[in-house]
Structure 1
Amino acid sequence: MPSSSIPFRSMSRRRLLQAAGAAACGAVAAPVFAQTRAIAITLPWVVNGSNYWPMVGKELGYFKKRGIDLTVSRGNGSVAAAQAVANKQFDLGVVFFGGTLVNMARGLPLQALATVGYDALMGNLVLADSPIRAPKDFEGKRVGTVTTSAESPYWTAYAAKTGIDLSKVTRQQLDARLIERALMDKQVDAITAIGSSSIPVLDSLGVKTRFIPWATAGVQLYAAQVIARRETIEADPGLCQAMVDGILESVVYTLKKPEESLEMLYKAQPEIALAKGGKENARIAQGLAQATMVAPEAVEHGMGWSSIPTLASMISLAARAGALTADAKPLVPEDLATNRFVGRIKLSAAEWDQIRKNVAPYNKMLGLA
């Protein structure tokens, strides 16, 4: 078991049955192993409102009923998490698409089994009263960025698509631990950011912001995906199916019962509830992440579906943005993700309508409403 594994406290049998019943419409028949199997999965980063749903499924027994004893561990960024899966430190991982893309271009034998979030929420963040309203308003301003952050390479792609003259923009390199503080203290006029990371940090501190999404200009990547090694997919498809079903069932529960899900998070990770602004941070992070889960792929084809043509356009975007090295291995969209294990869990139109209503305030935060 990885040393960074995160224990989840047990629920009462009564509460477990109630929770399972509430999610019954999202449940599917899945492989059940004759003997319990210990499986380890890594998250992309520390446990927060945007990524904890595998742990909710562990708590609710979604994996146990499939014969899986799941260990969930924190990650150290999507690139590192994907490498950890490739190096057999974990059986599977929850990784942002950008991390899978970079590692597959380096030749690592990985593939996405399911897509959970359909927008990585790359963009610029400004203070609510900022005069920056349109792309050309960035000219003459200071834009802070963390060069190693996932969105950083795509800032130039956004500028090219929207006509920003980057020779007129001062780009200020910042430490990842200080970038939100730099905006808050007005050391810079804007920052490049992943919305689900930076917006909750500042909002929980009482700082109101506006997000300028790059997706509106066509600069968009998929977000969270479930990945595995190709050898695991080929040798153990039953495990892959059981894990995908358990994870997507967990996602559906959090979409339908966001408040109850957060209470499970606070109980399991009490430091979140005790930290100043911790609960608000988790709530907003969850809402922003859930807003990216409402997409035509999931609505029309079922939870977890990946669009192969969309992946092709994302490969081209990454290449143009310089996110892939010159010696990168040629990437085939069909190799990046498979739809073999998804589409089994489908929500009704009424259920999607309720979820859209739930995430409407977060779409407004993202400048998408």
Structure 2
Amino acid sequence: MASTTSRPLSRRRLLQGGAALAAGLPAAAMLGTGARAQTLKSVKLTLPWIANGSNYWPMVGKKLGYFSSRGIDVDVARGFGSVAAAQAVANKQFDFGIVFAGGTILAAARGLPLVTLATLYYDAMMGTALLASSPITSPKDLEGKKLGIVPTSAEAPFWPAYAAAAGIDASKVQLVQVDSKVIERVLIDKQVDAITAIGSSSIPVLVAQGQTPRFTLWSKVGVELYAAQIVTRQEVLDQDPKLCQAMVDAILESYAFTLREPKKAIDEFVALVPEVGLTKGGRENAEVSQGLAQLMTLRPEALDHTLGWTDIDKLGPMFDMVMKYGAPKDAVRPDPKKFATNQFVGKVTLTKAEWDAVKTSTAGYAKLLG
């Protein structure tokens, strides 16, 4: 992991890598000074990674006033991975975080007092990416092939789980360790036959470089984790439930705006981060990443319940998988019922017509997922 802390977004610390979008900037202009500003409560929120098409919505929400209207002056910071973001929240560097479930589960297994207040994406999009021309047509076809993998990536620990679930003899697959900066390039250059990846990260990079990849979600064989969860410390929940409600409402309203107005939302993102539009493939990267992420919200949890709802019964198998493949030996399995709550969701959601519109707007991105 690059760091165990997160830092405020800054124009001076843009990260660039190939055609991938990499930008971390202030969420919006400073709020007005004077009496109004003094009435707002300062709250720090960390993203799981650099601001991109799958996580930028709190930045836009701040600009549109979704936080200030609830008495909050939110400071949005980039993160350095979900594990680091979860630790930063637990260590009181941030009050809230947007964290993939794997990072939160690992933190909870180490005894860190975190609680999940809402879930926005229901699949972390762990999977295997292939070029369109690849002769590989089934998971078992990976046997005898070279598979590129970033050892420190979010999905790497769960490759053995996928291999077992998909009926792959992992001993017959040649793993090629690759740096995260070139993982897509080694696939394009055919130095490997396939790569493991997080779809919302690698697919936009491949598309921006003129590829139409085939991507197999590991969740199709039960290797799945929730993603993009709103987390805080237990003490924050206990001491200030009204703040938790306000933050969940503001974050969900920010995300709902991107669901209802995906193109306008990207326009707002580009206005906040002009480098997105100036970087080759930057806007396209953001649009693809956003579309893929929104696909992961189109699940029964949100459609049959409400935006942000967590199926706590599904957490048990996720915990078991993380404990088996990703947690240290001295880790203790968390209690799913203490790990997440649905008490703060339900005030912000979409109508059936709006959900249908999301299905239509993301249909093209669904074709990228084989």
In 2: Cα distance, 1:8 partner to 1:330 partner: 36
Q: Any residues of structure 2 matched to 1:1-369 within 5 Å, and which?
A: 3-4=8-9, 6-9=25-28, 35-320=39-324, 322-367=325-370
**TM-aligned CA deviation for residue 4 of structure 1:** 3.3
**TM-aligned CA deviation for residue 66 of structure 1:** 0.5
In 2: Cα distance, 1:313 partner to 1:167 partner: 25
Which residue of structure 1 aligns with residue 33 of structure 2?
none
In 1: Cα distance, 2:193 partner to 2:228 partner: 29
Q: TM-score, normalised by structure 1?
A: 0.91
**TM-aligned CA deviation for residue 203 of structure 1:** 0.6
In 1: Cα distance, 2:130 partner to 2:58 partner: 32
**TM-aligned CA deviation for residue 364 of structure 1:** 1.3
Residues 28 and 62, structure 2, Cα contact 8 Å, conserved in 1: no
Residues 34 and 67, structure 1, Cα contact 8 Å, conserved in 2: no
Kindly provide the amino acid, as one letter, of the partner of residue 79 in structure 2.
G
**TM-aligned CA deviation for residue 357 of structure 1:** 0.9
In 2: Cα distance, 1:94 partner to 1:155 partner: 24
- Percent identical among aligned pairs is 54
Matched residue of 1:41: which SS? strand
Matched residue of 1:70: which SS? strand
Q: Deviations over 1:15-72 (max 9, x none)?
A: xxxxxxxxxxxxxxxxxx9921111101000010000011111011010110111111
- The runs of 5 or more residues in structure 2 that have no matched partner are 1-5, 11-24, 31-36
In 1: Cα distance, 2:158 partner to 2:363 partner: 26
In 2: Cα distance, 1:233 partner to 1:360 partner: 37
Matched residue of 1:199: which SS? helix
**TM-aligned CA deviation for residue 168 of structure 1:** 0.9
Q: Deviations over 1:271-313 (max 9, x none)?
A: 1111111011011000001110111111122111101110111
Residues 27 and 75, structure 2, Cα contact 8 Å, conserved in 1: no
Q: TM-score, normalised by structure 2?
A: 0.90
Residues 90 and 113, structure 2, Cα contact 8 Å, conserved in 1: yes
Higher mean displacement: 219-228 or 349-358: 349-358
Residues 128 and 217, structure 2, Cα contact 8 Å, conserved in 1: yes
Residues 323 and 331, structure 2, Cα contact 8 Å, conserved in 1: no
Residues 215 and 369, structure 2, Cα contact 8 Å, conserved in 1: yes
Kindly provide the amino acid, as one letter, of the partner of residue 365 in structure 1.
L
In 2: Cα distance, 1:251 partner to 1:340 partner: 18
Residues 301 and 346, structure 1, Cα contact 8 Å, conserved in 2: no
Kindly provide the amino acid, as one letter, of the partner of residue 149 in structure 2.
T
Higher mean displacement: 73-82 or 323-332: 323-332
Structure 1 runs (4+) greater than 6 angstroms displaced:
none
In 2: Cα distance, 1:134 partner to 1:101 partner: 31
In 2: Cα distance, 1:9 partner to 1:39 partner: 14
Residues 299 and 346, structure 1, Cα contact 8 Å, conserved in 2: no
- The runs of 5 or more residues in structure 1 that have no matched partner are 12-32
